[in-house]
Amino acid sequence: MLLQIDDLHASVDGAEILKGVTLEVDRGEMAVLMGPNGSGKSTLGNVLMGHPAYQVTAGKIQLDGQDIAEWTPTERGKAGMFLAFQYPEEIPGVSVVNFLRSALSARTGTDFTILELRLRVMETMKELGMEAEFADRYLNEGFSGGERKRNEVLQLAVLEPVLAIMDETDSGLDIDALQTVAEGIEKTSSGERGFLVITHYQRLLDYLTPDVVHVFVDGRIVTSGPPELANQVELEGYEAFK
């Protein structure tokens, strides 16, 4: 099993947010985690990546059978874990291509030249239908919401993680941007990569076909099922699952 979470409890500033999460994601699998705002979905993503503001108080997190509870975020990233942020930050003065060069070198331990990385990025951007000049813009500076999310998909494609955690990638996107981002996720999926897609709305699943849907309420998974479960959530709302 690629990712295995067993009875995970986590707190921030003494307040328990995750209240016993058990979840598995295997290679080649796309799992969707749906839940209302404030339920702890993004907290789970941050805890999985080792964000220092969160304290794991019980339970286990394993990646490929290894206990990663004591690993730093850098170690988790090098091992192939990736988090696409709900609100990607601007980094003025750092171009997209230079950012990717640094990130990929850290991920693989190989010091890529600018030319090597540029060729790789350009090829990937072409596959994702992105304009070439995008690579030389400063990271997320002046980007629209859709551009920021497409940039996250570009990072995913270039860095080639084994586990991709997509934290509300559909947040703030119009229908066209949502479809573009969903297509990018589909293009970067492979039999070796697992996806944990965190979302609030069913609409993302109009463009993605997950293997399993988990409903997340008040810090725990309350039910799981096939993709059709998302339609039930849309019709009945999260109150029906409390």
pLDDT digits (tens, 9 = 90+) for 90-140: 999 999 999 999 999 998 888 888 888 899 999 998 888 888 889 999 999
Predicted pLDDT at 32 = 95
For strands 81-84 and 163-167, give the pairing: parallel
Whether 177 shows a pLDDT value over 80: the answer reads: no
Question: How far apart, in whole angstroms, are the C-alpha atoms of residue 33 and residue 100?
Answer: 28
Please determine, for residue 173, whether its predicted confidence score (pLDDT) is greater than 90.
Answer: no
pLDDT of residue 159: 93
Extract the tokens encoding 39.
Answer: 């339920």
According to the model, what pLDDT value does residue 215 have?
97
Mean pLDDT of 155-181: 86
| pLDDT band at residue 58 under the 50/70/90 scheme | very high
Q: In the predicted model, what is the mean pLDDT of the chain?
A: 91
Asked if residue 191 belongs to a domain, the reply is yes
Number of H helices, E strands in the chain: 7, 12
pTM score, whole prediction: 0.93
pLDDT mean over 34-61:
95
pLDDT tens-digit readout, 189-237: 878 899 999 988 788 888 888 999 999 999 999 999 999 999 999 899 9
In a domain, 58, yes or no: yes
In a domain, 36, yes or no: yes
Tell me the β-bridge partners of 61: 5
Bridge partners, 137 (sequence order) = none
Q: How many domains does the chain have?
A: 1
> 54 lies in a domain?
yes
Q: Is residue 185 part of a domain?
A: yes
Is the residue at 199 inside a domain? yes
114 found inside a domain: no
pLDDT of residue 212: 97
In the predicted structure, residue 56 carries a pLDDT above the cut 90? yes
φ/ψ of residue 109, rounded to 5: 80, 10
What is the per-residue pLDDT across 77-103, written as a single tens digit (0 to 9) for each? 999 999 998 888 899 999 999 999 999
Q: Which domain holds residue 171?
A: 3-82+163-241
Structural domain includes residue 75: yes
Q: What is the pLDDT of residue 121?
A: 92
Give the residue among 99, 204, 77 at the shortest CA–CA distance from 151.
99
3-class DSSP state of 4: strand
**Residue 13's pLDDT band (boundaries 50, 70, 90)?**
very high
Q: Is the pLDDT of residue 28 over 80?
A: yes
Percent of the chain with pLDDT over 70: 100
Q: Which residue has the higher pLDDT, 78 or 183?
A: 78
Residue of 179, 154, 29 lying closest to 88 (CA atoms): 154
Question: At residue 176, does pLDDT exceed 90?
Answer: no
Give the CATH number for residue 14.
Answer: 3.40.50.300
